[in-house]
Structure 1
Amino acid sequence: MAFAGRGRELRVLGSWLDRVVSATGGSAGQALVIKGRRRIGKTRLVQEFCARSGLPYVFFQATRGLPAPLSRQALFDAVAEGEGMREHGSALAHAAAPDDWVRTLTAVAAALPAGAPVVFVLDEVPWLEEADGGFAAALKTAWDMHLSAKPVLLLLLGSDLAMMDRLTSYDHPFYGRAGDYTVGPLNPADLQDSTGLDAADALDAYLVTGGFPELVTEWRAGESVAGYLHRQVEDPSSVLLTTGERSLAAEFPARLQAGRVLRAIGSGERTFSGIAASTGGADGRPLAHGTLAPILAELTEAKRIVAAEPPLSTRPAPKLKRYRIADTYLRFWLAHLENAVAQAERGRGDVSAARIQRSWSSWRGRAVEPVIREALARRVPEGLFPEATEMGGWWNRQNNPEIDLIGADAEPVARHVSFVGSVKWRDETPFGAHDLAELAAAARQVPGAQDAALVCVSRRPAPGTRIEGLAAQWGPEDVVAAWR
């Protein structure tokens, strides 16, 4: 698979390696916890980093369900076979691994070079902990007594976000010994560079792939969104169709209720009551509060696959919280592709393509809003509104009005609202005077926004046209530039 983007992530990893090479990190060794959802590209990123470093490295990939004794032996093999490790790791090539992790990691530490920097990667740490509950404590002991004294960059990777969070939490043995970094998907700028699309189409491609590297690398240079989709939905084994099912199976094995909740949100349900009604029993009764609440808590806090957002203004409104699928690709997959494999197996990919085309404009108009909010949170174009560091939306109980963009100085409750905005992601018609009148009327209902500026983000902004009363108008190029 071709490697695309990841400039920022490589720079972060490089800065940690610099601490080891320059001996400026406080100890000879440095440790960094790297987490991110499955299939987001953590392993590929770190492999590329190791290869580019030009240094000796050991890359150990854990196997789920493998008994701990076999994992320890596999670690010895990985050290012996590591890049540039032939001289140092030869002692472990035919050695039997000890019957505990402390002595195994101590032996690994002894095999690492003492006078030259080395990168040591443990991939899928949660699986090692799953097989042996004492692994984390053993890692702490080996780090304190042996590994940290050598010029080693220890990279600990994992996809179980809750477990990786615990690895650096206060009550965990490894607390205070490692940095923490989260790897997300490829960003829209990376995706544009990889596909050669213009900014508007690159954002469409982002909504389809979510920036998942294995989906982006399937995109042919200059290929249209329609062309990519047509190719993918014709093939029942395509990564676009199968990645969603694999991700859900890995995240929620045998969790039927969690899957139903996800599908309800993916189909458009956004309120607690709406989700409860959609996931209720055959008798028509909504799912009980005591059942749904912990599922939503797991999806939002532990798995982070769902986002829960209250309306943003100067007045708190926690009971008006809304839910959405936080994973951009999974949002597209749940809305359009869950049944596409069956159609492709029948040779009817055209059915799936036609279904996507019918709902594309309306679905895209809402799906792009969180991407635009993230872009504005990163960088408001033209340096406007320096106090607007938080982005959200606003709505009342009746959803009338419903405002796409709120720029404020704090969240979930703002002290000051800088701007109120509208997203018009239409193919042909730019934001116009009628849209402005609707936005102005809606803004008057937002608590604390009576003096806020009015802005818009449009897919097809009218070039060289300034609408009286609009403080700023931004287009796709401005959105993508936030990641430059």
Structure 2
Amino acid sequence: MELAQLDMSEHDTKDFIDREAELELLEEAWRKGGFALVVVYGRRRVGKTRLLLEFAKGKRLLYYAAIEAPLEELREDFARAAKAQLGVPASGDPIDLLEWLASTGQRVLVVLDEFQYMVEADPSLPSRLQRSIDATLSGSGVFLAVCGSAVSFFERELLAYRSPLFGRSSLSLKLAPLGFPQVRRYLGGYPIEEAVLAYGVFGGTPAYLKMLDPSRSVLENLRSLLKPGSRFYEEAPNLLRQELREPRTYIGILAALASGERRPSQLASAAGVDARALPKYLAVLEELDIVARVARVGGRGSKLDFRDNYFRFWFAFAYRLRHLIEAGFAEEAVEHVEEGLPRYMGPVYESLVRELLPHLYRAGLVPVRPVEVGSWWSGKAEIDVVAREPGRATAFIEVKWRTVGGEEALEMLEELEAKASGSGLLSPENYYVLVVKRAEGRLRLPERRRLLQLSDVEAALSGASGRGSGPA
């Protein structure tokens, strides 16, 4: 029996934002033939469903998005979806349907989206699926993709060692927000400075980037988005309420982080959280790719930073200005944002430089292979970014989101070198790098000192190489 094929032409490719690497991994698994179990998961809005629908083009497909419902209602809903898409009566039990599809001998893609709801309604499903894989499905042409946004469910239950499905998946993909190289390609019409600003405000989550009108500046976009009821304004608190059991505690932690409290002890105090309980909350926020730890290179400890710039911006501005916004003073709120952006973008740019170190290394702009990456601090002294190839070389990097003249740059590099000399991190080769938004004036630097600006970042992303385009 020839199965019906769902027409995916309605899903426009232009709406698909740069998941080429993940798409190729899925295609590679498909080309191997035979049965496959693929797990795709990640926080809401990161593009899981869109990736799988892009992958489904040209393939026989059964796509089902589970609903949060009792088992009987869920099975009825599943049976209706299967009948509508495959053109044949179908069982409401997904295992029965998978085994029937296996018996047809055809290559077919089955996507079970929001899979956690199916397991919630039928806790026996993972163990029954495991038995079916071992007894029936493993010799079939069924390509089963289970997908969902309940990150803890996938990591702590479905993929965990104790899970019946442990070791059965051919591929597991956790989708995180896109990095700046992918965002830059999506925002190709923006000058580099505006693209970095957009990344600092919207982050790398595809659904948030789609809120941006690239024909208008970031500030012009914010004038229409910083309003009660807009998705941009409502998304952060809504997501935290949907994903977390104690949203108020997490909101307090994120607000404290946005205010500049980056070390765990300071963060706990500012957020009013017991320091002993803080690691539990931070682990959840890290799991959701909202925050990340920055290592102290050459020593113990870490500091916290935002992994997702949308949440960084929301808690730095929208949360703090919510009384103005909700009273209808959006224009005044945007004025506050405009005044605060230069300071706000400092940590964004610092984080971006850490992210792009592999590109800067390949371009020869930071000639240290970034094996260890983090920051360094001791007392009042701090170095924004440190990249180290143990036993060979270390790069000490200062990052400033502003225009810097030649003489000021020289003074900053001298101060950086002095801080580095007291860090205990010196290597046989040491490089001192100042990364600014824009460099002005004339300055000749020795080989071990580098002055980089945004145009160098742009060049590094395009594959160009050199020592930098600062004053010479």
TM-score normalised to structure 2 length = 0.85
Q: 1:6 aligns with which of 19, 42, 63?
A: 19
Structure-2 residue corresponding to 1:193: 185
Structure-1 residue corresponding to 2:281: 295
1:380 to 2:356 alignment: no
Structure-2 residue corresponding to 1:61: 65
Alignment of 1:75-224 (within 5 A): 75-82=78-85, 85-86=86-87, 90-92=88-90, 97-98=92-93, 104-111=94-101, 114-166=104-156, 167-178=158-169, 179-195=171-187, 196-224=189-217
CA distance in 2, matches of 1:303, 1:213: 15
Structure-2 residue corresponding to 1:284: none
1:46 to 2:52 alignment: yes
Q: Secondary structure at the match of 2:257?
A: helix
**Cα distance, 1:37 vs structure 2:** 1.4
**Cα distance, 1:121 vs structure 2:** 0.9
- Name the aligned partner's letter for residue 27 of structure 2: G
Q: 1:447 aligns with which of 418, 424, 437?
A: 424
Alignment of 1:345-364 (within 5 A): 345-364=326-345
Q: Secondary structure at the match of 1:81?
A: helix
Structure-1 residue corresponding to 2:73: 70
Contact 1:420 1:449 in 2 (8 A): no
CA 1:111 to 1:230, structure 2 compared with 1: closer, same or farther past 3 Å? same
- Name the aligned partner's letter for residue 207 of structure 2: E
CA distance in 1, matches of 2:361, 2:104: 48
Q: Which moved more, 1:214-223 or 1:150-159?
A: 214-223
Contact 1:32 1:156 in 2 (8 A): yes
CA 1:186 to 1:478, structure 2 compared with 1: closer, same or farther past 3 Å? farther
Q: Which moved more, 1:450-459 or 1:108-117?
A: 108-117
CA distance in 2, matches of 1:161, 1:359: 34
- Name the aligned partner's letter for residue 190 of structure 1: Q
CA 1:221 to 1:417, structure 2 compared with 1: closer, same or farther past 3 Å? same
Structure-1 residue corresponding to 2:470: none
CA 1:159 to 1:274, structure 2 compared with 1: closer, same or farther past 3 Å? same
Structure-2 residue corresponding to 1:230: 223
Contact 2:400 2:435 in 1 (8 A): yes
Q: Secondary structure at the match of 2:445?
A: coil
- Name the aligned partner's letter for residue 367 of structure 1: V
Contact 1:374 1:391 in 2 (8 A): no
Contact 1:458 1:476 in 2 (8 A): yes
CA distance in 2, matches of 1:262, 1:483: 34
Structure-1 residue corresponding to 2:231: 239
Q: Secondary structure at the match of 2:89?
A: helix
CA 1:186 to 1:317, structure 2 compared with 1: closer, same or farther past 3 Å? closer
CA 1:381 to 1:226, structure 2 compared with 1: closer, same or farther past 3 Å? farther
CA 1:462 to 1:130, structure 2 compared with 1: closer, same or farther past 3 Å? farther
CA distance in 1, matches of 2:443, 2:21: 35
Contact 1:124 1:159 in 2 (8 A): yes
CA distance in 2, matches of 1:210, 1:449: 34
CA distance in 2, matches of 1:343, 1:34: 40
**Cα distance, 1:203 vs structure 2:** 1.4
Contact 2:48 2:147 in 1 (8 A): yes
TM-score normalised to structure 1 length = 0.83
Contact 1:5 1:190 in 2 (8 A): yes
1:457 to 2:455 alignment: no
**Cα distance, 1:290 vs structure 2:** 2.9
**Cα distance, 1:274 vs structure 2:** 1.5
Deviations 1:260-296, CA, capped at 9 Å, x for gaps: 222222222112221222133xxxxxx4333334333
Deviations 1:363-387, CA, capped at 9 Å, x for gaps: 1111221222111145524245353
CA distance in 1, matches of 2:360, 2:143: 32
CA distance in 1, matches of 2:443, 2:23: 40
1:403 to 2:393 alignment: no
How many pairs are equivalent?
A: 443
Contact 2:394 2:425 in 1 (8 A): no
- Name the aligned partner's letter for residue 216 of structure 2: E
Deviations 1:116-157, CA, capped at 9 Å, x for gaps: 322111112222223332222122222222333222222121
- Name the aligned partner's letter for residue 406 of structure 1: V
**Cα distance, 1:244 vs structure 2:** 1.0
CA 1:354 to 1:449, structure 2 compared with 1: closer, same or farther past 3 Å? same
CA distance in 2, matches of 1:146, 1:385: 54
Gaps of 5+ in 2: 1-11, 464-472
CA distance in 1, matches of 2:209, 2:403: 23
- Name the aligned partner's letter for residue 9 of structure 1: E
CA distance in 2, matches of 1:340, 1:279: 18
Contact 2:63 2:111 in 1 (8 A): yes
Alignment of 1:5-44 (within 5 A): 5-20=18-33, 28-44=34-50
CA distance in 2, matches of 1:426, 1:119: 51
Q: 1:435 aligns with which of 391, 402, 412?
A: 412
CA distance in 2, matches of 1:424, 1:105: 57
CA 1:60 to 1:15, structure 2 compared with 1: closer, same or farther past 3 Å? same
CA 1:147 to 1:471, structure 2 compared with 1: closer, same or farther past 3 Å? farther
CA 1:463 to 1:198, structure 2 compared with 1: closer, same or farther past 3 Å? farther
Gaps of 5+ in 1: 21-27, 99-103, 281-286
CA distance in 2, matches of 1:463, 1:46: 51
